[in-house]
Homo-oligomer: A and B are copies of this chain.
């Protein structure tokens, strides 16, 4: 923010771990908070009876809608964004990404603390091209699970089993993992009741098309990046969502830290389109 930044709210020493002021702007009244989503409860009490996990997508985007440059999201968000991502992971039973995201960069799907339970790390793949050893940094005690389509040949399964446990799930009509069946299996077989999805945009698009996402958490980084479609990613990669598959977004909350915005939306199909 610039010279127009308002004076402190006068709430004393309410400061985040990183010493940066965080304001919860919405719902009113505005107040300073210690951390974003610190009081989040997943799954929400009203959503504990489903056959599939409660699914949230968490992502960071520039103001011009870029979620990654050169395949990598690293560097787009601030330290507070990183802390917020860890908070969301700590509230969920599992964290899921597509294999393409893992191929793009070296990353962790865990928490910084080593003395707390780690979420299950799930990699979704249709082909089995999963560079686990090179790109996944596994925190102490974190379990990893590869979700593999039934369409993949047995030699792929055998190779992956040397790296991590593999859950075979039915293929959809394209040979990719049937995500609805995969989620139901994750809850039934692994007890996953809440899941954070961290991309990439192909997985995000598939889940939203199938009406499998309950909430979307978007950090809007105060940046303009530009970049051609082959250099950059956006939140969704895939065909234009037909009106019947387009969710209604309700804004649940807004936090502000520096010039970085943290938006939380709940997703629903409009009643006229509900099945």
Instruction: Determine whether the beta carbon of B27 is less than 8 Å from that of A65.
Output: no
Per-residue B-contact encoding for A203-229, CB less than 8 Å = 1, 0 else: 001001100000010101011111111
Query: Counting chain B CB atoms within 10 Å of each CB, which of A25, A216, A254 scores highest?
Result: A25
A235-256, CB < 8 A from B: 235-241, 246-252, 254, 256
Instruction: Tell me whether chain A's interface is mostly helix, strand or loop, or mixed.
Output: loop
**Set B30, B222, B237, B249: member contacting A250, Cβ < 8 A:** B222
Instruction: Determine whether the beta carbon of A227 is less than 8 Å from that of B240.
Output: yes
A149 contacts chain B at the CB level, 8 A cutoff: no
Knowing A2-B266, A61-B65, the reply to whether A241 touches B226 (Cβ < 8 A) is yes
| Residues of chain B with a CB closer than 8 A to A223's CB | 246, 249
- CB-nearest residue of chain B relative to A228? B239
The smallest beta-carbon distance between A222 and chain B, in angstroms, is 4
A28 contacts chain B at the CB level, 8 A cutoff: yes
Instruction: Determine whether the beta carbon of B251 is less than 8 Å from that of A254.
Output: no
Q: How many copies does the complex hold?
A: 2
The smallest beta-carbon distance between A66 and chain B, in angstroms, is 7
Per-residue B-contact encoding for A133-150, CB less than 8 Å = 1, 0 else: 000000000000000000
Instruction: Determine whether the beta carbon of B234 is less than 8 Å from that of A246.
Output: no
- CB-nearest residue of chain B relative to A30? B28
Q: Complex formed: what's the CA distance from A237 to B232 in Å?
A: 11
Instruction: Determine whether the beta carbon of B249 is less than 8 Å from that of A240.
Output: no
A132 contacts chain B at the CB level, 8 A cutoff: no
- CB-nearest residue of chain B relative to A252? B4
The smallest beta-carbon distance between A26 and chain B, in angstroms, is 6
| Residues of chain B with a CB closer than 8 A to A64's CB | 65, 234-236
- Identify 19 new A-B residue pairs, CB closer than 8 A, beyond the known A65-B235, A226-B237, A226-B240: A1-B251, A5-B27, A6-B27, A28-B30, A63-B235, A63-B265, A64-B65, A65-B65, A205-B226, A209-B226, A220-B263, A224-B236, A225-B241, A226-B236, A226-B238, A228-B240, A231-B239, A254-B254, A261-B263
Question: Which 4 interchain pairs have the tightest Cβ spacing?
Answer: A65-B65, A229-B229, A227-B240, A222-B249
